[in-house]
Amino acid sequence: MKLGIYLGLGFACLAEAAAPEVIPPRLPIENFSTSHNVGNPALSPDGQTIAYEINRGDGWVLALQDWATGKIVICPYNATGGDPTWLSNERILYGRGASVDRNGKNGRYPEYMPKLIAARFSGAKPSEFLGVEGTRHHNVIVVNTLDELRPDIQFSRRRVANPGNVIGWMVDGTGFVRAAVEEDEGGGKTRVIVRANEAAPWVVPKGLDFANDKIRAHWLSADGRLLYFSRVTPEGTWGVYSYDLEKQQEKELIIGHTKFDILPDGAPFLAPKTREILGFYYVTDKLRVIWFDPQMGAVQAALDQILPHRTNTITSVSDDLQRMIVLSWSARDPGVYYRFDLEKKELKPVLPKAPWIRPAQMADCFPISYRARDGQLIHGYLTLPTGRGPKDLPLVVYPHDFPWERDQWVYDPQVQLLANRGYAVLQVNYRGSSGYGPSFQESAYRRIGREMQDDITDGTRWTIEQGISDPHRIAILGFGFGGYLALRAAEQNPQLYHCAISVGGRTDWTIKKEYWESLDDIFKQRIGDPEKDAVELADNSPVNHVGSLQAPLLLIFTDWNVLNVYNPSPREDYDYFRAFTKALDQAKKPYEVLDKHMAHMGSDDMGNFSKTKIELLTRIDQFLSQHMPMDVSAQPPPTAK
């Protein structure tokens, strides 16, 4: 294995864009209501069977396809809720706890199933796995999927009782739970605890206590001697290291990048049988991979030669590494799953993820970067509508949800819908986003509506300076936290945005006193303390700045509000939403509302996207067409009366 690897990669640029293509036809909303109807393939350990989820129109089910004959067995139980996981060559776990033999027989469909944390360890029966029971601070139990699982017998199966506030467990190759991640009372910090054997006490290894909050533990080696964790490298990004649990000392760097975090957006690729690190997937401007294993590196090179100008991701392998499942995809193509037989040197398509999508009709997405007003380098993505050229385009600014996550170069159905309608789409990884080192992320803590808002504004102005966007046809759209950012952008820069759309955006950051105790330390750390930061939170609340609004608003209330992690009470958030519309009425500001209070916006129990999702996208499409039409002369943003 090659160790101590540091990586550095350049960016693609807009100059690489191909010559203008033909403008595609206007496609139906339903084409963009979901990203795929085939997903999560998993190869059996012996490589004889491919399991995958498929939506046949009446819900998601599990399909088991024989590698040699192509024969498919359909397992009808709902396959949503969990990726297919082989417990052995003969049995697979899928959905919300269903399990079945590979011939489709002996199905078990319990109402409750503990969450899987480890399978295929030595000594386990072919139908067993290790799971967790309970709430956040759970216990470890052994589950036999052939038994009828009942709550009254769970305790007898317990393998490890939670010693305190453990929120994550790590298991070696024998099934021994040797390490765990424990949080403090406030939930804001974590530490690692380990034990030498079943009878030994839990102890904190040197350097892995609460005091070191720049360490995140991830997994154990098969023999349990090494703990793999990420910490901040001297370059200021998250790299991956190993720790010798017997000697209680940190070992060498496994992989790091000079500009980008390896984790949490990336992932190791482990040999399924030995847990050897074969390679690492990580994200820079795009998803990248580095292989430590020469054979896997050679396979990747061959795939990239056969399927050029695409991202070719190995998603599953057999134990002997001779058979593989490959997803070949791009930002304008959800992708096609292939099966690769190394011994036969044979690559065959299995299924497209979304067969209704024609990549030639989709839009290209380009990684971009620019300097914010204070000199900070900001990264993002710009999607250009096919066939229209990168000049004087109507633009939709699309800030991402969850301030600690990030946008990536992927196929995004909502972005492609906007591009199909003729809009360029700007996605900004504003300050607070993951992937660029903890300093970049933490610079936005307790400063919502400040620098992160400037980053979005500066990115919008950058597109104007480059001649890409028409300054009189710019909208901003966001879901969840992105919806909040859209509202504040329209308030702070009323002359910049022609219209704004907020789906589930929070309108008031002040928290009622009766909900203070329900807030965890993460809210206080990243958003603000409701008592100490009350003035700052109020100043960053859209409800207190409606007077500065000029652009028309579309406000959508749905489960994006209800499921918001920053929301201590769904009822409180709905009250805030109604208070915001009342403030708009009093200020006589133009707005439209789609109120789907408590309506489900995601997929239903069978994995089908609800009518609410299609209704939402239709309303967004209509609102943008009304306020930023493609076929009339551009008009400046409206002026407040």
Which pLDDT does position 70 carry in this prediction? 94
Structural domain boundaries, residue 401: 363-627
Q: Identify the DSSP state of 572.
A: H
Q: Identify the DSSP state of 164.
A: S
Which pLDDT does position 516 carry in this prediction? 67
Positions of E strands within 120-248: 128-133, 139-144, 158-160, 166-171, 177-183, 190-194, 215-220, 226-232, 238-244
Which pLDDT does position 599 carry in this prediction? 53
409 Cβ contact partners less than 8 Å away, ≥ 6 residues apart? 285, 286, 287, 331, 365, 367, 381
Does residue 604 belong to any structural domain of this protein? yes
Which pLDDT does position 512 carry in this prediction? 75
Q: Which of 640, 634, 557 is nearest to 597 (CA)?
A: 557
Does residue 38 belong to any structural domain of this protein? no
Does residue 520 belong to any structural domain of this protein? yes
Which pLDDT does position 96 carry in this prediction? 84
Which pLDDT does position 44 carry in this prediction? 98
In this prediction the pTM is: 0.90
476 contacts 490 by C-beta, under 8 angstroms: yes
Q: Identify the DSSP state of 3.
A: -
Does residue 505 belong to any structural domain of this protein? yes
Which pLDDT does position 122 carry in this prediction? 82
How far are the Cα atoms of 107, 340, 632 from residue 43, in angstroms, in the given order? 19, 11, 53
401 Cβ contact partners less than 8 Å away, ≥ 6 residues apart? 478, 479, 480, 481, 482, 483, 560
Neighbours of 357 (CB within 10 A): 22
Residue 192 β-bridge partners? 181
Does residue 138 belong to any structural domain of this protein? no
Neighbours of 556 (CB within 10 A): 26
Does residue 178 belong to any structural domain of this protein? no
Q: Parallel, antiparallel, or unpaired for β 38-43 and 5-7?
A: unpaired
Neighbours of 276 (CB within 10 A): 14
Domain count, the chain: 1
Angstrom distance (rounded) from CA 99 to CA 108: 5
Long-range contacts (CB closer than 8 Å, 24 or more residues apart) made by 359-363: 359/330, 359/332, 359/333, 360/21, 360/24, 360/386, 361/24, 361/25, 361/27, 361/386, 361/420, 362/24, 362/332, 362/333, 362/386, 362/411, 362/416, 362/419, 362/420, 363/332, 363/415, 363/416, 363/419, 363/420
Angstrom distance (rounded) from CA 622 to CA 641: 25
Which pLDDT does position 640 carry in this prediction? 38
Containing H/E element for 411? Answer: none
The widest CA-to-CA distance across the chain, in whole angstroms, is: 77
Q: Which of 191, 184, 253 is nearest to 217 (CA)?
A: 191
CATH of the domain at 435: 3.40.50.1820
Angstrom distance (rounded) from CA 65 to CA 55: 15
Which pLDDT does position 523 carry in this prediction? 83
Structure tokens at 606: 């069978």
Angstrom distance (rounded) from CA 306 to CA 284: 23
Angstrom distance (rounded) from CA 278 to CA 294: 9
Q: Which residue has the tokens 């203008």?
A: 20
Query: Could you tell me the mean pLDDT of each successive run of 10 residues in the chain, 641 residues long?
Result: 39 42 93 88 98 85 95 86 91 92 92 86 88 83 79 56 92 93 83 94 93 84 95 95 95 95 94 94 97 98 97 98 98 97 96 95 98 98 95 97 95 97 98 96 94 98 97 96 97 97 93 71 85 93 96 85 51 83 96 76 46 89 93 45 34
Which pLDDT does position 524 carry in this prediction? 85
Q: What is the DSSP string of 510-565?
A: ---GGGGGG--HHHHHHT--TTTTHHHHHHT-GGGGGGG--S-EEEEESHHHHT-T
Does residue 245 belong to any structural domain of this protein? no
Does residue 228 belong to any structural domain of this protein? no
